[in-house]
Amino acid sequence: MSDLTGLPWLTILGLVPLVGALLVAVLPSGRDALAKTVALVVSLVVLALTILVCALFEPGGDRFQFVQAHDWIPAFGVQYAVGADGIALVLIALIAVLVPVVVLASWYDADPQADRLRRVSVSGVRAAAAGSSASSRRVGGGTAVLDAPAAPSPPSDELPPRRSVKTFFALLLLLETMMIGVFAATDVFLFYVFFEAMLIPMYFIIGSYGGPRRSYAAMKFLLYSLFGGLLMLAAVIGLYVVSASQGEGTFAFEQLLGLHEQMSTTVEIALFSGFFIAFAIKAPLFPFHTWLPDAGAEAPVGGAVLLVGVLDKVGTFGFLRYCLPLFPEASRILGPYVIALCVIGILYGALLAMGQKDLKRLVSYTSVAHFGFIGMGIFAFTTQGQSGAVLYMVNHGLSTGALFLVVGFLIVRGRSRLIPDYSGVANVAPILAGTFLLAGLSSLALPGLSTFISEFLVLLGTYSRYPVAAVLAALGVILAALYVLLMYQRTMQGPLRLPALLGDRMPDLRLREVLAVAPLLALMIVLGVYPKPLLDVINPAVEATMQDVGRTDPAPTAND
């Protein structure tokens, strides 16, 4: 076992999907089925290796395990340095679970026929129905309200041809490499490199394979992220300058931990702000969230799952890994203001979600509210809050990933993202409706499903230090129940109403789609009943972070 722990596991985990991406990219044109198969096999290999790494990880051992450090740019103290604590490990495991799910769910998303289906715009069906009267017919004892005949396809130049199938799956594997690297990096400069490199494959996934407004959404995503990255780069350079003034300049995380003692409060707040804004944009927290609804709505479903399920977690991970330990005094000073932004984001995101008619935008806005909970748990500076926040990162990836997938399956069938175009889907597609309900209930934190324990720990940890914020945030739980259940009721229940081009027929989930979403649903149930294995891995890393910040849990009080 000791021989196995000595292997460069994190490097292997990053290299396998990179090699897979290259293999897919060099396949001959026209071998689309082979490209998909290679991508799926490679992602499953990464999953198997990640399970082995998780088994080798010792929760009571060193803070960072599977450590490697090699000089990269010696003149500036830059190293290729990787290592995983409990927080990074569970997020790498989330990546390993989601990527094969996305590959399987996106099996036909880049195929030429997908272009033809996407040419029926979001508003096309409704526009065609505007000048015609609705018709009704009886289906299975219920009334089916059917719109007018299908709208004609938009001009061919509205949606130019997608890139090749193999490019799409190569980009997914390349993105997996970058995501693993960003969580594994223990050199701040290396982290920054992966932080920026992630943008490239996601930009092309959105811009080349997304919806009608994909170019706008991809550019907005890129510009917001680049702006945040520029601020973080300035802060990274500032850290190096401060470390160099004390001796030898370095970017090594563990060597930078005590550097705040050599900074003035003003300098610490300035450097903290550079990191914080970059991470708040990536997360995204209110008011830095405005790129997410566009990117989430226009990205292909698989891209949206990875965007919201993993990429956005880099922001909240960055709060825990860099903002709090490296700048503890600034974190304590600005923490209450961050808590206020998180509470606003919880309520604001929930209210906006309730008003959405676009299914994908609605799910995107729910994530703004969820990231408010995660940020609140982090900056509550309690072990319950931070452990709940890390667990929330994992569970949010599962529940929102499943919700995006099911919404995507519905949109592929109905060729419309608009809620008013659907009603009574459960009458003709009960399996789809059942998975939709389970994913939605997990998203609203129903007890017994995984998100509940995360939300409970966050609220408990926040209440012990910021009771007013916790009470206000609890209103978000009620609003979540409203927007999720209303979305389900309007689309799945009631008289059957489908877009006109479907008639009264909608196929239920196929075996491939069931296999794609089933692992996420199973994990939501298992972790909802028994989250202890994850918490055992997360808690030691959270306790180490609390020590870095110099905070302890508030002492319990009792009234006589």
- Predicted pLDDT of residue 505: 77
pLDDT at residue 155 tops 50: no
Task: Give the DSSP letter of residue 165.
Answer: H
**Residue boundaries of the structural domains of the chain:** 2-128+147-549
Residue entry with tokens 């199938």: 165
Tell me the mean pLDDT in the region 93-102. 95
pLDDT at residue 115 tops 50: no
pLDDT at residue 256 tops 80: yes
Q: Which two tokens stand for residue 225?
A: 């992220």
- Predicted pLDDT of residue 151: 35
pLDDT in tens, 18-59: 999 999 999 888 788 899 999 999 999 999 999 999 999 998
Residues contacting residue 252 through CB under 8 Å, at least 6 positions apart? 69, 77, 79, 81, 186, 187, 188
Nearest C-alpha neighbor of 97 from the set 45, 170, 41, 47: 47
State residue 445 phi and psi, 5-degree precision: 65, 50
Specify the 3-state DSSP secondary structure of 468.
helix
Nearest C-alpha neighbor of 447 from the set 481, 479, 401: 481
- Predicted pLDDT of residue 157: 33
Dihedral sign from CA coordinates of 78, 84, 87, 92 = positive
Tell me the CA distances in angstroms from 69 to 83, 320, 325, 356, 477, one per residue in order.
Answer: 9, 22, 21, 48, 44
Dihedral sign from CA coordinates of 416, 417, 423, 428 = positive
> Which of 79-83, 249-253, 281-285, 292-296 tops mean pLDDT?
79-83
- Predicted pLDDT of residue 145: 33
Specify the 3-state DSSP secondary structure of 47.
helix
Task: Give the DSSP letter of residue 387.
Answer: H
Q: How many CB atoms lie within 10 A of CB 275?
A: 26
Dihedral sign from CA coordinates of 326, 94, 106, 401 = negative
pLDDT at residue 468 tops 70: yes
Lowest mean pLDDT among 158-172, 181-195, 398-412: 158-172
- Predicted pLDDT of residue 279: 93
pLDDT at residue 541 tops 70: yes
- Predicted pLDDT of residue 501: 60
Positions of E strands within 333-479:
none
- Predicted pLDDT of residue 146: 30
Q: State the distance between the two ends of the chain, measured CA to CA, in whole angstroms.
A: 54
pLDDT at residue 485 tops 50: yes
Helices and strands, counts by H and E, the chain: 24, 5
pLDDT in tens, 320-354: 999 999 999 999 999 999 999 999 999 988 888 88
Residues contacting residue 12 through CB under 8 Å, at least 6 positions apart? 49
Dihedral sign from CA coordinates of 398, 403, 406, 409 = negative
- Predicted pLDDT of residue 136: 33
Neighbour-count burial of 221, counting CB atoms closer than 10 A to its CB (0-12 exposed, 13-18 middle, 19+ buried) = buried
Q: How far is it, in rounded angstroms, from Cα 473 to Cα 340? A: 10
Q: Is the separation of the CB atoms in 90 and 534 below 8 Å?
A: yes
pLDDT in tens, 118-151: 444 344 434 433 433 333 333 333 333 333 333 3
Q: What is the mean pLDDT of the chain?
A: 84
- Predicted pLDDT of residue 428: 87
Task: Select the more confidently predicted residue: 115 or 514.
Answer: 514
pLDDT in tens, 195-252: 999 999 999 999 888 888 888 889 999 999 999 999 999 999 999 898 888 878 888 8
Q: What percent of the chain stands above pLDDT 70?
A: 88
